[in-house]
Structure 1
Amino acid sequence: MELTWLELFIIVLASFRLTRLLVYDQITQFIRSPFFDEVEEEDEFGQKETYLVPKNRGIRGFFGQLLSCHWCTGVWCAIFICALFFVYYSIAFPLLLVLAVAGLASIIEVIVQKWLED
């Protein structure tokens, strides 16, 4: 199967959006929470700040480290997206297209927000 530039663009955007979804978005917090500990610290102004720190050991520590790094998660998301694309094309393409559209929309939103700030 030959990959077109448009399909590559869709795969790239879908991988980008899935990575952001897993690493940063609030809606997937329940997926990340078993792999992190909450650490609360007080800053110099007496305000309490909460940080998420990956668990130290075992499989939870491994996945905590993975989910705290968008570069690492991005590689695994790209592998997953490519496998879906090449193995289950007819089923995967609509899902990848939705992720790609959402990814491009999020990029446009960041650009618009930046433009409005200036």
Structure 2
Amino acid sequence: MENFTLELLIVMGLASFRLTRIIVFDKITEFIRAPFLDEIEENGDVYVVPKPSGLKKWIGELLSCYWCTGIWASAGLLGMYVFLPKVGIAVILIFAVAAIGGIIETIIGRLLGS
């Protein structure tokens, strides 16, 4: 890891940001969260809460916490970079580019008022 640069840190940060958002918020990974989280409706609002007890509760707590999931997503990406560098850098770049695209889309959406 002697070649770890500021640029790599930024790319890894963007990749971790996007991977974490996919896991915690995106519809495409709802099937991963579903066994560990319950939806509760109150006054027309829907809340997601961890299952009541045991390992499912622990995993539910992890999957409902952006900061907690972010640590593990970062660790996974760094592990891929260190132990499977060819695959790792490809995955990291895909998530980093997707993060940049998402950030740009959010900025443009707000500027255009949509």
Does the alignment reach a TM-score above 0.5? yes
Mark the structure with the bigger radius of gyration: 1
Q: Which residue of 2 aligns with 1:22?
A: 23
CA distance in 2, matches of 1:90, 1:106: 25
Task: Please tell me whether residue 83 in structure 1 is matched to residue 106 in structure 2.
Answer: no
1:67 corresponds in structure 2 to 63
DSSP-derived class of the 2:80 partner: helix
Distance 1:52 1:7 in 2: 35
RMSD, aligned α-carbons: 1.4
Matched, 1:33 2:34: yes
Is residue 102 of structure 1 aligned with residue 98 of structure 2? Answer: yes
Where structure 1 has 5 or more consecutive residues not aligned to the other structure, the ranges are none
Deviations for 1:33-64, whole angstroms, at most 9, x for unmatched residues?
Answer: 000112222x2xxxx33322111211110011
What CA distance in whole angstroms lies between the structure 1 residues aligned with 2:85 and 2:10?
A: 15
2:4 alignment partner, SS class: coil
Give the letter for the 1:79 counterpart: A
Per-residue CA deviation, residues 8-49 of structure 1 (Å, 9 max, x unaligned), is 1211111000000000000000000000112222x2xxxx33
Normalised by the size of structure 2, how large is the TM-score?
Answer: 0.92
Please tell me the residue identity of whatever aligns with 1:111: I
Q: TM-score, normalised by structure 1?
A: 0.89
- 1:51 matched to 2:52? The reply is no
Which of 94, 113, 116 is the equivalent residue of 2:112? 116
CA distance in 1: counterparts of 2:46 and 2:104, whole angstroms: 30
